[in-house]
Amino acid sequence: MNPSDPRSTDAAIAIHLVDGTGDIDGTDQGSKLDRCQDIVRYRFQDESLLLSALTHASGASHRLASNERLEFLGDAVLGLTVCQWLYEDYPEYNEGDLTKIKSAVVSRRSCGKAACALGLDRCLIVGRGVTRNRSFPKSLVSDVFESVVAALYLDGGSDVVTARIKEWLSEEVRTAVENQGANNYKSSLQQYAQRELSNTPIYRLVRESGPDHRKSFLISAVIADRQFSAAWGSNKKDAEQRAASNALAELHSQPLPFPSESPTKELPGEESLDSE
């Protein structure tokens, strides 16, 4: 990937900083406010909020005039928005999966990539020492992303900020879901079925085996009129995960990972598929 591409990794993110005096490229504070509002596609009723959001401590007249307080709020707004997003869109993911995905999406790396992809780094108001010496902290662009989120929230409300966060971080969520939730077969099957088959899987109990204190369950996934190969599990959640894995294998013409001939114990060291 081109190192100057803002979608690249941390080390390769190209950050463009211009101070607020106009001495570097004729960009003054007013122009930066206009540019940022064009980028986020929102006109602020209170532009002082946006000015604070874009002002780094090095370019502020005093510390409280910088974006640090908004960054504090933006971190919470971003976290809540992403948590609700994941909770609503990925109902089959357990708490552990959701936590891992959320942590990846709201990380400094992800926020920094999003800020540079949008061009928020060019809107930052910083002191001359930062632009001349390039002695800025790596967190600078991720911080401005959070402060702009907070400014949008305060000026426009939750609907305004939620729509933009979902747009700006959609790729980060997709990647995190693929990487962090790889073992959640039920969610993967649901996404595939809804996208490719315009249907939602259900799970059918085929048979139970064993005494009450140590039952095993045979469950199959069903999509529309097609019932897929069933799988055993020591509890219904595990059996459903394995049934979903079998269904995915059949849909992709792959060998079944969980044969359904008889109930089997988990292999030594094998964790429950429903665990974190």
What does the pLDDT average to over 140-160?
Answer: 96
Three-state SS sequence of 161-172: HHHHHHHHCHHH
Residue pair 197/224 in contact by the 8 Å Cβ criterion: yes
pLDDT of residue 206: 95
Q: Which of 134-143, 151-160, 234-243 has the highest mean pLDDT?
A: 151-160
**Greater confidence, 189 or 272?**
189
**Greater confidence, 31 or 2?**
31
Active site residue 146: yes
pLDDT digits (tens, 9 = 90+) for 13-26: 445 555 444 433 33
For residue 10, is pLDDT > 80? no
CA dihedral over 102, 103, 108, 110, signed as positive or negative: negative
Residue pair 112/10 in contact by the 8 Å Cβ criterion: yes
Percent of the chain with pLDDT over 70: 76
CA dihedral over 133, 137, 139, 143, signed as positive or negative: negative
Residue whose entry in the numeric block shows the structure tokens 């529309």: 224
Domains of the chain, with CATH numbers? 10-180 (1.10.1520.10), 185-251 (3.30.160.20)
pLDDT digits (tens, 9 = 90+) for 160-210: 999 999 999 999 998 888 776 556 788 888 888 988 999 999 999 999 999
Question: Please, what is the average pLDDT of the chain?
Answer: 81
pLDDT of residue 262: 59
Q: Whole-model pTM?
A: 0.62
Calculate the CA 75 to chain-centre distance.
14
Distance of CA 96 to CAs 84, 145, 208, 243, Å?
A: 15, 26, 28, 21
Please identify which of the residues 146, 155, 172, 238 carries the catalytic annotation: 146
Backbone angles phi, psi at 125, to 5 degrees: -105, 110
What does the pLDDT average to over 151-157?
Answer: 98
Please identify which of the residues 19, 75, 143, 238 carries the catalytic annotation: 75
pLDDT digits (tens, 9 = 90+) for 80-124: 999 999 999 887 778 888 998 999 999 999 999 999 999 998 898
What is the DSSP code string of 26-57?
S-BHHHHHHHHHHHHT---S-HHHHHHHHB-G
Active site residue 75: yes
**For residue 32, which of 110, 114, 126, 116 has the smallest C-alpha distance?**
126
pLDDT of residue 184: 78
Residue pair 146/63 in contact by the 8 Å Cβ criterion: no
User: What does the block give as tokens for 169?
Assistant: 């971080």
